[in-house]
Amino acid sequence: MRREIPLILTAFVGFTYILQFFIPHAPFNQLDRMLNEWIQVIAAFAIWLGALNLMKVSLNKVSRQSENWPFALITIFGFLLTVIVGLFLSGGRGYQSPGTGFDYIYRNIYAPLSSTMFATLAFYVGSASYRAFRARTKEATMLLLAAFFVMLGRVPIGDYITAFLPKGYRLSDFATWIMNYPQTAGYRAIMIGIALGIVSMSLRIILGIERSHLGGEE
Amino acid sequence: METGFTFANTLAALLTIGIISFLWKDNLLYKICEALFVGVSAGYWFVILYYQNLLPKLFDNLGITQIFGGDPGEPGALQVLFNEGRADSRLLYIFAGILGIMLLMRLLPNIGWIARWPIAFTVGTTAGLYFVSYFHSNAMAQLESSIIPFTSFNNIIIVVGTVTGLIYFYFSAERKGVLGGVANVGIWFLMITFGAMFGYTVMSRMSLLIGRFDFIFATWLGLV
């Protein structure tokens, strides 16, 4: 029963979604709307589960005083501070308005930390490209050239060094052409491949052939 | 944004420097900033999901907000049931709430298996939704846009690139002869795509980095 009911539930909601696409009338269109709302509620609980699990792991670390436990304490402090300020001290539904405590945390703690975290990836991408871009084969050379022209075409120096060429033939135009045609063609092939993969995997899940999401036997 | 050495700017600048300091080596300041980032991010999404999903879609619809003195503008399903004696269709949201609470049972090892029900619901919904939407908007719509006349060099590039790229993903036959040659052309197009996407990603990361340096040198220190 622990596996059969979830399998039936998966098949039922999966087929409901597929049916409402082909029969967009009552009751299928109403079911579709309702399931969409339900999934948003469950998604919120899923994020809560993740956050509460983080707290559980961090509290365990602190109580056992395992390695690096003071950092777990900082994590707990950051979580509690944001939740308490956001839920109780930021004026309810207007919690994101300028001047609220939650907005202060967002602008001065969350935004600087997240944007810097992503910005530092530029350096790691750079060092990875050093290894990947050595033009050893024809394919690697094409990868290198495409990246080189797109990067150079997106900054002012690209047009500056090709200023002797007529407008429409400068580096920024070439970068735009790469993005609009060869890149679009390759990207379409990838997107069609992904779509076909997702369609076949969805069908496997709905029919109960793919069951890995239910975990191991318990 | 206010400029200069205000408390808020100094806090944001120290956190920025703390994360950037990892480029030198893993250090105490970075570890503090990283731990704080993890906690604040979890808290941020906890609050956002409460106000954007749980409050309007679950608590307001059921009438739980109204029981605790909140006023979302209209009576909830529970108020309609007890005051007017009729069952509102919004009462069905109680099942979404039950599935959500069942998901939280994952935190309790002995009854964690109960979480399979909401997981099955979520996976089934996503599979059904993606089955239709990906087939419709990605596979069919992309194919439709790729079937174009050979009236210009650019059109030829689009058609040849898409077809040869798709042939590269065809693994059911050995790659030799004509199929091998066509698949090789597909590899070239895919390499150009990956290179262009890489270049684009690097530039977006660089613009984020420039934004942070602009904050430190212009907004905080006032040097620029």
> Please, which residues have CB within 8 angstroms of residue A121's CB and are 6 or more apart in sequence?
B205
d(Cα B127, Cα A19) in Å, to the nearest integer?
13
Question: Per-residue pLDDT tens for A45-86?
Answer: 999 999 999 999 999 999 999 999 999 999 999 999 999 999
Answer whether residue A151 shows pLDDT above 80. Answer: yes
Amino acid (1-letter code) at residue B40:
V
Amino acid (1-letter code) at residue A101:
G
Q: What is the pLDDT of residue A11?
A: 94
Compute the mean pLDDT over every residue in chain A, rounded to the nearest whole number: 90
Looking at chain B, the whole-number percentage of residues with pLDDT higher than 90 is: 68
Cβ contact, residue pair B12, A9, below 8 Å: no
Q: How many CB atoms lie within 10 A of CB A102?
A: 25
**What is the Cα B186 distance to its own chain's centre?**
30
The answer to whether B6 and B224 are in contact (CB under 8 A) is no
ipTM: 0.85
Cβ contact, residue pair B192, A186, below 8 Å: yes
Instruction: Find chain A residues with C-beta within 8 A of B22's C-beta.
Output: 120
Instruction: Find chain B residues with C-beta within 8 A of A54's C-beta.
Output: 38-39, 42
Q: What is the pLDDT of residue A4?
A: 86
Cβ contact, residue pair A186, B190, below 8 Å: yes
The answer to whether A11 and A209 are in contact (CB under 8 A) is no
Interface size A-B, in CB pairs within 8 Å, comes to: 406
Answer whether residue A217 shows pLDDT above 60. Answer: no
Greatest Cα pair distance in chain B? 78
Question: Per-residue pLDDT tens for B169-211?
Answer: 888 888 888 899 999 999 999 999 999 998 888 888 888 899 9
Question: Per-residue pLDDT tens for B37-46?
Answer: 999 999 999 9
What DSSP state is assigned to residue B54? I
d(Cα A51, Cα B46) in Å, to the nearest integer?
7
* A91 to chain B: closest CA residue: B51
Answer whether residue B72 shows pLDDT above 80. Answer: no
The answer to whether A133 and A147 are in contact (CB under 8 A) is yes
Q: How far is B75 from chain A (nearest CA, A)?
A: 17
Cβ contact, residue pair B116, A182, below 8 Å: no
DSSP string computed for A57-101: HHHHHHHHT-TTHHHHHHHHHHHHHHHHHHHHSS-GGGTTSTTSH
d(Cα B30, Cα A50) in Å, to the nearest integer?
23
Q: What is the pLDDT of residue A216?
A: 63
Instruction: Find chain A residues with C-beta within 8 A of B46's C-beta.
Output: 47-48, 51, 79, 82-83, 86
Q: How many CB atoms lie within 10 A of CB A110?
A: 21
Q: What is the arithmetic mean of pLDDT over B153-177?
A: 91
B38, B112, B212 member nearest A116 (Cβ): B212
Give the confidence band of A212 by pLDDT, cuts at 50, 70, 90.
Answer: confident
Sign of CA dihedral B103, B105, B106, B107: positive
Sign of CA dihedral B207, B213, B216, B222: negative
d(Cα A110, Cα A115) in Å, to the nearest integer?
8
Instruction: Find chain B residues with C-beta within 8 A of A12's C-beta.
Output: 124
Q: What is the arithmetic mean of pLDDT over A25-38?
A: 85
Residues of A (162-191) whose Cβ lies below 8 Å from B: 178-191
Q: What is the pLDDT of residue A32?
A: 82
Q: Which two tokens stand for residue B71?
A: 């006023």
Give the confidence band of A135 by pLDDT, cuts at 50, 70, 90.
Answer: low
Question: Per-residue pLDDT tens for B114-151?
Answer: 999 999 999 999 999 999 999 988 899 999 999 999 99
- Interface membership of A205 toward B (CB under 8 Å): yes
Residues of A (132-161) whose Cβ lies below 8 Å from B: 138-140, 142-151, 154-155
